[in-house]
Structure 1
Amino acid sequence: MKKILPFFSYLFHPIFIPLFGTFFYVLINDAYFSFYQHLVLFIQIIIITILLPVAFFYLLRTFGKVDNIMLSDISQRKIPLLLQIMLLSILIVKSITIDKFPELFYFLFGGLLSAIFAFGLLFLKVKSSIHMIGMSALTVFIIGLSVHSQINIINTVMFFVVMNGFVASSRLEMKAHNKKELLIGFLCGIIPQLVLLYFWL
């Protein structure tokens, strides 16, 4: 089991969370969108939240600012988190706007708030688990979509609740975080999403 656990850190890496959220938004949301609109939506998400961060990561690694994609060291997290804040801001201002995709907008806005919290904590020498931020936020979003669309997806919800545990165990096994950092990350991810549910449920 210990050999399998690191797999969950890569499968549910924070870089993929916006894409997973978008997938479930399209799958569960009952609003009508054309295939073209869905395609453009996914292309925007992939470019801004995956391809650009990956490109910047390799640029930072070239200059010796980061050493691996897990960003275990506090000093290596500031630039990537600041980049994430900038990219998410661009996404919700220019593309995933509240008038076009309200539910997804609030999910990404919650992610932006979580990234700001995590970034601020770095100046207090506090490291939060970005993996847990992503997983807890995604879980609340899926629950919110289920309630909003009045669709029973209890098995999916339970799956992601369990995955939160597996990801947390994975981060402990890889010695990337301690329990306190996992809890801080969990709270940083879940609180903004719970607060923002009020605006779209």
Structure 2
Amino acid sequence: MDRILKSISFIFHPLIMPLLGVVFYFSKSPRFIPNEIIQAKIISLFILTVILPILIYFLLKTLGKVQSIYLKTTNERVFPLVLNCIIILIVLQRIITPNQILELYYFFVGILISTITCLMLAIIKFKASLHMISVSGLFMFFIALSIHFNININGTLALMSIITGAVATSRLHLKAHTYSELIVGVFIGAIPQLILINYWFN
């Protein structure tokens, strides 16, 4: 059981959640988007949101700034979160712009807001769960897509419910977070996505 719960935390690491949201969007969106554009955006996002943060992590670990990829202390979180904000800003400026794919643009705006909020909490020594921020934000994005496009993804939403619960259980079992840190993480991840749905129709 210990190995399973550790695997859940690793498989559903916050780094991969934005990319999962983008892949899911392209798979479910009724809009016609050329495959070349889809592939280019997915590859660009993979490099920026997964590969680059991993390289930065190894650099920070070499410099002794972080101890593990889970960023267990608030001090370890500050610099990576600042860099992640910069990466998301680059994504919003260069890859997912509002005049191209509005839903994905506001998805990343929501991620940016959640990241900034998490950064501010880290500065005041509160360790909100990054896992819960990412999985709850993705869950809310899926719900928004189902409503916005009027598509039936009940199976996916049920699976996301299970994943969200499994991630929370994993973080508690590993003693990575308290209940309050998990709950705050859920709100930080979900509320920006919920609020930004209003801008999808502009």
Question: Under a length normalisation based on structure 2, what TM-score does the superposition of the two structures give?
Answer: 0.97
Q: Give the equivalent residue in structure 2 for 1:175.
A: 175
Q: Give the equivalent residue in structure 1 for 2:159.
A: 159
Q: Give the equivalent residue in structure 2 for 1:78.
A: 78
Name the aligned partner's letter for residue 94 of structure 2: K
Cα shift at 1:178: 0.8
Report SS of the residue matched to 2:3. Answer: coil
Q: Give the equivalent residue in structure 1 for 2:139.
A: 139
2:41 is equivalent to residue 35 of structure 1:
no
Q: Give 4+ residue runs of structure 1 displaced > 3 Å after superposition.
A: none
Q: Give the equivalent residue in structure 2 for 1:69.
A: 69
Counterpart-to-counterpart distance in 1, 2:146 and 2:6: 29
Counterpart-to-counterpart distance in 2, 1:167 and 1:144: 21
Q: Percent identical across equivalent pairs?
A: 38
Counterpart-to-counterpart distance in 2, 1:161 and 1:84: 26
Provide the alpha-carbon RMSD of the alignment.
0.9
List aligned pairs for 1:97-116, cutoff 5 A.
97-116=97-116
Name the aligned partner's letter for residue 43 of structure 2: I
Counterpart-to-counterpart distance in 1, 2:165 and 2:72: 19
Cα shift at 1:3: 3.0
Runs of 5+ unmatched residues, structure 1 = none
Question: Under a length normalisation based on structure 1, what TM-score does the superposition of the two structures give?
Answer: 0.98
Runs of 5+ unmatched residues, structure 2 = none
Counterpart-to-counterpart distance in 2, 1:195 and 1:161: 20
Cα shift at 1:33: 0.9
Cα shift at 1:92: 0.6
